Amino acid sequence: MQVVAVEEGLSQISRALRDAGYEVTKLKPEELKKARAIVVSGIDTDVLQFQDVTTEAPVISAEGRTAEEVVEEVKRRIR
């Protein structure tokens, strides 16, 4: 199962991702290491505030999008 890290407070998006078959985790350093994508509430979010964490996972902004639109973007970005 592919892992997607989702910012706290985006419960509707987390639910939609789970329904689409993704494993959803929180934005914690140990979780970011295995995430295939990262979903945040807006691009201004300092998602990688953990200086010792590096990831090549795409960061996807949920700002102005429906949960379904975010799921589709995740699918496109982590094929």
- The tens digit of pLDDT for each residue in 22-70 reads 999 998 888 888 999 999 998 665 555 555 556 789 999 999 999 999 9
Query: 42-49: long-range contacts (C-beta < 8 A, 24 or more apart)?
Result: 45/7, 47/7
Query: In terms of Cα–Cα distance, which of 33, 77, 31, 39 is closest to 59?
Result: 39
Domains identified in the chain and CATH numbers: 3-77 (3.40.50)
Question: Contact, 36 vs 57, CB < 8 A?
Answer: yes
What's residue 75's pLDDT?
97
State which amino acid sits at residue 20: A
